[in-house]
Amino acid sequence: MDDSDGTRLRSGESLANAAREVAALGAERIMVNCSAPEAVTTAMGELATLSVPFGGYANGFISVAPLQPGSTVDKLASRTDLDPAAYAEHAIKWFGQGATAIGGCCEVGPAHIAALAKRLSERG
């Protein structure tokens, strides 16, 4: 997904159109991953219009734009504003938008998931 526009894939196509296409082909769940949490929040709104379960996994990078084919993520800078509590705050919004599968991608670790699990448990 495009980190600056969660309604679009990185290649520019509409996320909603792509999701509808894969749902029509029989996808059992549609996930977005390795994008900024803010973009995932926008994407959840797009996916919530479908009749298939959905969810997302955000990353903790400032940007993945410097990543080139064949390179590795060790060239990317991590966000300093995305501690476990902040990540859980983003992810709890996804849950509120109807996401049924939530996790974490690069730079999101066990402490982030534990904070999210705690928040979800508190909600019942």
Residue ranges per structural domain of the chain: 15-122
Average pLDDT (18-38) is 96
Q: Is residue 102 classed exposed, middle or buried when 0-12, 13-18 and 19+ CB atoms within 10 A define those classes?
A: buried
* Residue 106 annotated as binding site: yes
pLDDT, tens digit, 9 for 90 and up, residues 61-112: 999 988 888 889 998 999 999 999 999 999 999 999 999 999 999 999 999 9
Residues 115 and 15: their CA atoms lie apart, in Å, by 28
What pLDDT is stored for residue 120 in this prediction? 93
- Supply the pTM of this predicted model: 0.94
Residue 106: exposure state from Cβ atoms within 10 A (0-12, 13-18, ≥19): middle
- pLDDT, residue 34, reads 93
* pLDDT given at position 124: 80
Q: What is the pLDDT of residue 15?
A: 98
SS3 state at 107: coil
pLDDT recorded at residue 123: 86
pLDDT digits (tens, 9 = 90+) for 100-124: 999 999 999 999 999 999 999 998 8
Distance of CA 43 to the CA centre of its chain: 8
Q: Does 25 belong to an annotated binding site?
A: no
Q: Which CATH number fits domain 15-122: 2.60.40, 3.40.50, 3.30.1490, 1.10.490?
A: 3.40.50
Per-residue pLDDT, averaged over 6-30, amounts to: 96
Instruction: Please tell me whether 83 is known to bind a ligand.
Output: no
